[in-house]
Amino acid sequence: MDIDFPFVLTWAVLICGAVWLFDVLVLKPRRVRAAEALEASGTGADRLEQALREPRLVEYARSFFPVLAIVLVLRSFLAEPYQIPSESMVPTLEVGDFILVNKYAYGLRLPVLGTKILDVGEPRRGDVMVFIPPHDPRYFIKRVIGVPGDVVRYENHALYINGERADYELVSTFEVYLPSLNAALPVREYLETFSGDTHRVYRYPVREPSGEWEVPPGAYFMMGDNRGRSEDSRVWGFASEDQIVGKAVAIWMHKQPGLSLPTFSRNRWLD
């Protein structure tokens, strides 16, 4: 089961803050009055200290609130780590890559609600973006192919944007085993260039979703670089502007699944 960490973190901050505030406004004045009454009656220092002692719950709330609040602010408005779970962005991003997501690049949003409170910039064609798709509550990461108003066409393994075909340069050819097909297939690696952005993509000799889509206002057409192994806007539609998480800007660590140690050989900035 996937845990909605922003939701849990937000509620943890609210609960800790509420407990601490309730203590400051209600419980602490009661403790002070009780201690003053004991002091007036000549009670010993031990009982005074006990009367002024914070409840354990309040102590925990006071200790955790500032730490959780700082984490919430940093994670909600500035940057967030994210681990690549699938092969859809190979060769740009591999399974096990840990990336840094810039949440400020496309504007400041309220945590959990996702409402934009400050406009900073808009996604551009070629950006690698983290978002929540229309069919799944989990984070997805794909490349921005079409922005509002664009007409995107994908046909015969080639991409067309507003009628203009992307440029392709063959880099290498190799074979890869696909468990789903129980067969090894040849893969062609290309440099794909459109709108001034160049990145690597994989093509397979298999049938892929094709068609033509006009990107509506407030939406983006997303595709994975591993074209034959990516379920993206060709299948489930557009990414909504109000479900954007942020822009992927760097790989900061890589860890293979299992008990392997993390490595930093793949660390780099993402163009």
CATH number at residue 100: 2.10.109.10
Q: Which of 52, 77, 102 is the last residue of a domain?
A: 77
For the record, the structure tokens of 250 come out as 């760097």
User: Do 104 and 206 reside in the same domain of the chain?
Assistant: yes
Range from 37-51, 66-80, 194-208, 249-263 that averages highest in pLDDT:
194-208
- pLDDT beyond 80 at 7: no
Same domain (yes/no): 197, 150: yes
Task: Please report the DSSP string for 103-134 in residue order.
Answer: SSTT-EE-TTT--EEE------TT-EEEE--T
Give the whole-angstrom CA distance, residue 255 versus residue 138: 21
Tell me, yes or no, whether 37 and 118 share the same domain. Answer: no
Unique residue bearing structure tokens 């995107």: 152
- pLDDT score of 44: 67
Strands of 197-203's sheet, edge to edge? 167-178, 183-194, 197-203
Host domain of residue 201: 84-269
- Rounded Cα–Cα distance for residues 227 and 87 (Å): 10
Among the residue ranges 39-53, 123-137, 251-265, the one predicted with the least confidence is 39-53
Q: Are residues 92 and 168 in the same domain?
A: yes
Instruction: Identify whether residues 95 and 199 lie together within a single domain.
Output: yes
What pLDDT shows up at residue 6?
A: 66
Taken as a whole, the chain contains a residue count of 271
120 and 245 in a common domain = yes
Binning the chain into helix, strand and coil, the percentages to the nearest 5 are 30, 35, 35
Of 48, 47, 57, the closest CA to residue 23 belongs to: 57
Residues 159-179: tens digit of each pLDDT: 999 999 999 999 999 998 877
Q: Are residues 151 and 107 part of one domain?
A: yes
H and E: helices and strands count for the chain: 5, 17
Residue numbers annotated as active site:
88, 142
Let me know: does 243 contact 131? Beta carbons within 8 Å: yes
- How large is the average pLDDT for residues 16-26? 91
Indicate if the pLDDT at residue 2 is higher than 60. no
Are residue 99 and residue 66 in the same domain, yes or no?
no
The Cα 153–Cα 166 span in angstroms is 11
Instruction: State how far the Cα of 5 lies from the Cα of 81, in Å rounded to an integer.
Output: 12
Mean pLDDT computed over 109-126:
78
Among the listed ranges 68-72, 132-136, 206-210, 257-261, which one has the minimum average pLDDT value?
68-72
**What CA–CA distance (Å, rounded) separates 221 from 85?**
21
Looking at residue 1, its pLDDT comes to: 36
Query: Half-sphere exposure (CA, 13 Å, Cβ side) for 161?
Result: 22
Averaged pLDDT of the chain: 88
* C-alpha atoms less than 13 angstroms from C-alpha of 78 in its C-beta half-sphere: 5
Shared domain check, 191 and 257: yes
In total, how many domains does the chain have?
2
Last residue of a domain, one of 77, 94, 115: 77
**Distance (Å, whole) CA 185 – CA 46:** 78
Residues 6+ apart with CB under 8 A from 94: 84, 87, 254, 266
Tokens for 101?
């997501």
Distance between CA 265 and CA 182 in Å, rounded?
A: 31
Q: Distance (Å, rounded) from C-alpha 233 to C-alpha 231?
A: 7
Using the 3D structure, point to which of 29, 61, 77 is the last residue of a domain.
77
Q: How far apart are CA 266 and CA 120, in angstroms?
A: 29
One domain, residues 219 and 113 = yes
Q: Check whether residue 120 and residue 62 sit in a common domain.
A: no
Task: Provide the whole-model pTM.
Answer: 0.76
User: Do 162 and 245 reside in the same domain of the chain?
Assistant: yes
Mean pLDDT, residues 84-96 taken together = 93
